[in-house]
Chains A and B, each alone.
Chain A
Amino acid sequence: MTRNISILLNTLRRTAQYPSGAIGLALVTTILLVALFAPLLAPYDPNKLDLVNRLSGVSAEHWLGTDQLGRDLLSRHIYGTQVAVVVALSVIAIALAIGMTLGILSAYVPGPIERFILISFDSVSSFPSVILAMAAVAVLGSSMPMLIIVIATSLVPHYGRVARAQVLSVKNEPYIEAETVFGASELRILFFHIVPNILAPLIVIASLDIPIVIAIEASLSFLGLGLRPPLASWGGLLQDGYQNISKSVLPVLISSTALAIATLAFTMFGEALRHAIDPRSQRGGKND
Chain B
Amino acid sequence: MRLFESYVFNRVLTAVMSVFGAMLVIVMLLNVVPGDPATALLGPMATPEYARQFIAEMGLDQPIYVRLWRFFTQVAAGNLGTDVISGRSVNAIVWAALPHTFALALGSMALACLIGIPAGVYGAVHKGSVADTLMAMISVVVVSVPSFILGIFLLIVFSIWLNWLPVLGVSDSADLGDQLARMVLPTVALALGWIGLIARLVRTSMLEALGQNYVRTARAYGLRENMIHYKYALKNAIIPTLAIIGMGIGRLLGGAVLIEIIFARQGLGSVLYAALQARNFSVLQGSVFIVVVIFVAINLLTELSYSFFDPRIRYNRR
Distance in angstroms between the alpha carbons of A130 and B257 in the assembled complex: 9
Distance in angstroms between the alpha carbons of A123 and B197 in the assembled complex: 27
Q: Is the CB of A120 within 8 A of B251?
A: no
Query: Which residues of chain B (9-28) have a CB below 8 Å from chain A?
Result: 14-15, 17-22, 24-26
Q: Is the CB of A139 within 8 A of B30?
A: yes
Q: Is there a chain A Cβ closer than 8 Å to B180's Cβ?
A: no
Q: Is there a chain B Cβ closer than 8 Å to A223's Cβ?
A: yes
Q: Is the CB of A139 within 8 A of B29?
A: yes
Question: How many residues of chain B are within 8 Å of chain A by beta carbon?
Answer: 60
Q: Is there a chain A Cβ closer than 8 Å to B253's Cβ?
A: yes
For B197, the chain A residues whose CB sits under 8 A away are 284-286
Q: Is there a chain A Cβ closer than 8 Å to B60's Cβ?
A: no
For B156, the chain A residues whose CB sits under 8 A away are 245, 249, 252-253
Within the complex, which residue of B18, B153, B248, B284 is in contact with A135, where a contact is CB–CB below 8 Å? B284
Question: Contacts A223-B273, A284-B247, A288-B254 hold; do A126 and B145 have CB atoms under 8 A apart?
Answer: no
Identify the closest chain A residue to B153 (Cβ). Answer: A256
How many A-B contacts if CB must be within 8 Å?
157
Identify the closest chain A residue to B250 (Cβ). Answer: A128
Most chain A Cβ neighbours within 10 Å, of B26, B148, B161, B279: B148
- The segment from A84-92, A172-180, A262-270 found at the interface with B is A262-270
Q: Is the CB of B140 within 8 A of A286?
A: no
For B113, the chain A residues whose CB sits under 8 A away are none
Identify the closest chain A residue to B284 (Cβ). Answer: A135
Question: Contacts A126-B22, A249-B156 hold; do A138 and B145 have CB atoms under 8 A apart?
Answer: no
Q: Is the CB of B255 within 8 A of A288?
A: yes
Q: Is there a chain B Cβ closer than 8 Å to A64's Cβ?
A: no
Distance in angstroms between the alpha carbons of A140 and B25 in the assembled complex: 13
Q: Is the CB of B261 within 8 A of A223?
A: yes
Identify the closest chain B residue to A114 (Cβ). Answer: B318
Query: Which residues of chain A (199-242) have a CB below 8 Å from chain B?
Result: 211, 215, 218-219, 222-225, 238, 242
Distance in angstroms between the alpha carbons of A266 and B291 in the assembled complex: 29
For A125, the chain B residues whose CB sits under 8 A away are 18
Min Cβ gap A172→B in Å is 15
Question: Contacts A242-B152, A259-B146 hold; do A123 and B24 have CB atoms under 8 A apart?
Answer: yes
Distance in angstroms between the alpha carbons of A49 and B111 in the assembled complex: 45
Distance in angstroms between the alpha carbons of A89 and B43 in the assembled complex: 38
Within the complex, which residue of A120, A130, A140 is in contact with B258, where a contact is CB–CB below 8 Å? A130
Min Cβ gap B171→A in Å is 20
For A285, the chain B residues whose CB sits under 8 A away are 197, 251
B interface secondary structure, majority: helix
Range class of the A interface residue count: 35 or more
Question: Contacts A136-B29, A259-B146 hold; do A127 and B248 have CB atoms under 8 A apart?
Answer: no
Q: Is there a chain A Cβ closer than 8 Å to B218's Cβ?
A: no
Q: Is there a chain A Cβ closer than 8 Å to B201's Cβ?
A: yes
Within the complex, which residue of B146, B244, B251 is in contact with A219, where a contact is CB–CB below 8 Å? B146
Q: Is there a chain A Cβ closer than 8 Å to B34's Cβ?
A: yes
Min Cβ gap B240→A in Å is 8
Q: Is the CB of A245 within 8 A of B21?
A: no
Q: Is the CB of A120 within 8 A of B21?
A: yes
Q: Is the CB of B146 within 8 A of A264?
A: no
Distance in angstroms between the alpha carbons of A259 and B47 in the assembled complex: 46
Distance in angstroms between the alpha carbons of A264 and B284 in the assembled complex: 33
Distance in angstroms between the alpha carbons of A288 and B105 in the assembled complex: 13
Distance in angstroms between the alpha carbons of A249 and B22 in the assembled complex: 40
Q: Mark B182-214, 1 if CB is under 8 A from A, else 0.
A: 000000000001100100010010000000000
For A120, the chain B residues whose CB sits under 8 A away are 21
Q: Is the CB of B145 within 8 A of A287?
A: yes
Q: Is the CB of A128 within 8 A of B251?
A: yes
Q: Is the CB of A123 within 8 A of B145?
A: no
Q: Is the CB of A288 within 8 A of B144?
A: no
Query: Which residues of chain B (24-49) have a CB below 8 Å from chain A?
Result: 24-26, 29-30, 32-34
Q: Is the CB of A260 within 8 A of B149?
A: yes
Q: Is the CB of B257 within 8 A of A259?
A: no
Q: Is there a chain B Cβ closer than 8 Å to A131's Cβ?
A: yes
Min Cβ gap A218→B in Å is 7
Min Cβ gap A115→B in Å is 9
Q: Is there a chain A Cβ closer than 8 Å to B295's Cβ?
A: yes
Within the complex, which residue of B14, B25, B145, B295 is in contact with A263, where a contact is CB–CB below 8 Å? B145
5 A–B pairs (Cβ distance < 8 Å), ordered by A: A124-B22, A126-B295, A263-B149, A284-B243, A287-B143
User: Nearest 6 CB-CB pairs, A to B?
Assistant: A123-B21, A128-B254, A122-B18, A267-B144, A215-B146, A288-B255
Known interface pairs A120-B21, A219-B258, A223-B261; 19 further A-B residue pairs with C-beta atoms within 8 A, sorted by A's residue number: A124-B21, A126-B299, A131-B257, A135-B29, A138-B276, A138-B279, A139-B30, A211-B144, A211-B146, A242-B152, A245-B160, A252-B152, A256-B152, A259-B146, A263-B144, A264-B145, A267-B140, A286-B197, A287-B193
Binding site for A on B (CB under 8 A): 14-15, 17-22, 24-26, 29-30, 32-34, 140-141, 143-149, 152-153, 156, 160-161, 193-194, 197, 201, 204, 243-244, 247-248, 250-251, 253-255, 257-258, 261-262, 272-273, 276-277, 279, 284, 288, 291-292, 295-296, 299
Binding site for B on A (CB under 8 A): 20, 119-120, 122-132, 134-136, 138-141, 211, 215, 218-219, 222-225, 238, 242, 245, 249, 252-253, 256, 259-260, 263-264, 266-268, 282, 284-288
